[in-house]
Amino acid sequence: MLPDGRPQTLDEALAENARLREENAALREQVRVLLARVQELERRLNQTSQNSSKPPSSNPPFLKLPPKKKPSGRKRGGQPGHEGHHRELLPPDEVDEVIDHWPSQCENCRRELPQALRTEVGKTERLQQTEWPETPVRVTEHRVHTQHCDDCGHATPAEMPPETRSAFGPRLTAAVSVLTGAYRMSTRMAEELVQDLFRARISLGSVVACERTASEAVAPAVEEARAFVQRQPVAHADETGWREAGKRAWLWILATPLVIVFLVHARRSRKAARELLGEFPGTLVSDRWSAYHVHCGRRQICWSHLARDFQALSEFMGKVGQLGKELVRLRRVIFRWWPRVRDGTLARTDFQRRMKPVRTRVEALLRRGFETAQPRASGMCRDIVGKHGDALWTFVDVEGVEPTNNFAEREIRHAVMWRKTSHGTQSAAGSRFVERMLTVRATLRAQGRNVLSYVTQAVEASLRGQPAPSLLPAAEATGTAALPMAA
């Protein structure tokens, strides 16, 4: 080698050239790894509720969400000529008191108008005012007396009626349980509300006792509802995090239009999914969580989740990003047609005909996606088309199946809000109360029935040793007493 480092002979030049090539290859590999790392970190940094499963509450404040609809330019509120919505008057048999108001003097000449000559002229204006009664709770004291027999002298005590086994009546027990189980109030807040509104003295322990009584009362009806849902042709399933006694748990939901059941389980596993689904024979609408593979029947994976995945693909650079943008465009095309199928303005046969080229194009793009060199994009596409390809288009072929799992996610939202304030439950009994009351509330709301009235009747039936009222629609109730559909 020369003093300045240059090779002096041909062999030295070839050796130097080989060393530089190896160094160049190593640097190129290092750059490739660092670029992939930068791209992955940028992807994580840019994750929002639009391109991942993160909740909207985690969105950064500077994120501009797309407007749901174009502004019309009109002012908010009712528009000129809009027919207003007014509170309907109750029928006379539901009015507790009627007070007539008559004028005392003529507004023209100021002459006093005698009561004896009162005559109605024109239409009477009616106003109904609803007020909370000031009457406190009713306290009944039951006294069990003992009498001696004149013939044998034996002392015989009276028997306490079965409905007096609790210090609180069925309606107050149900009200306390509905406050905590349906309206997400804490035990302390329920205690304060009962004292303020009903003037009833109740302790935190008594609130828990009311919950336990109501939970046991509705348990048979909830099990009947669970068996009913597991026999339906279509159901939506979802799960969310929960905590029991400070440990991680999961809250599962299986929802149909009129009956919705919940399950608190320690695992987010196939065992938990099997307990939720039972021998469910119908079409299951869910996300792509692997636990749902226990269902061997027809599946429909959620296109709302696919929309976020497609959006994430569109934010990659190069060919992956172009592929993702095309998938986003095709999804928008599908969901321009789908609402028309649902409301009947587009025949299903026409929809299926239009969907043939779209299906072919989407599947081809996904196959191209899992052949790319980008590991995350490739894995995402392989999961969609490789593991769930048969579940992409069930909503196109089978009537009554929705393309998204939004129904289950809407129904589980109430429980998510409950979890945020309560931080879960402290015992297995508390978890049973949660899943049962969530089932009761969601099911009765779906059927237009009154939650408090139902729980009251369930507690009354339990105290008498009778079956609880059924949670099923009136036409389906079998094993338990049926209730009317209306509140």
What is the predicted pLDDT for the residue at 4? 67
3-state SS, one letter per residue, for the chain: CCCCCCCCCHHHHHHHHHHHHHHHHHHHHHHHHHHHHHHHHHHHHCCCCCCCCCCHHHCCCCCCCCCCCCCCCCCCCCCCCCCCCCCCCCCHHHCCCCCCCCCCECCCCCCECCHHHCCCCCCCCCCCCCCCCCCCCCCCCCCCCEEECCCCCCEEECCCCHHHCCCCCHHHHHHHHHHHHCCCCCHHHHHHHHHHHHCCCCCHHHHHHHHHHHHHHHHHHHHHHHHHHCCCCEEEEEEEEEEECCEEEEEEEEECCCCEEEEEECCCCHHHHHHHHCCCCCEEEECCCHHHHHCCCCEEECHHHHHHHHHHHHCCCHHHHHHHHHHHHHHHHHHHHHHHHHHCCCCHHHHHHHHHHHHHHHHHHHHHHCCCCCHHHHHHHHHHHHHHHHHCCHHHHCCCCCCCCHHHHHHHHHHHHHHHHHCCECCHHHHHHHHHHHHHHHHHHHHCCCHHHHHHHHHHHHHCCCCCECCCCCCCCCCCECCCCCC
pLDDT in tens, 377-415: 888 888 888 888 889 999 999 999 999 999 999 999 999
What is the predicted pLDDT for the residue at 336? 94
pLDDT in tens, 185-207: 999 999 999 888 888 888 999 99
What is the predicted pLDDT for the residue at 117? 63
Mean pLDDT by 10 residues, the chain (487 residues): 69 82 90 84 75 70 68 76 79 88 85 74 79 78 84 84 77 93 92 88 91 95 96 95 93 96 95 95 94 92 92 87 93 94 93 94 91 84 87 93 95 93 91 96 95 95 90 69 39
What is the predicted pLDDT for the residue at 269? 94
What is the predicted pLDDT for the residue at 364? 92
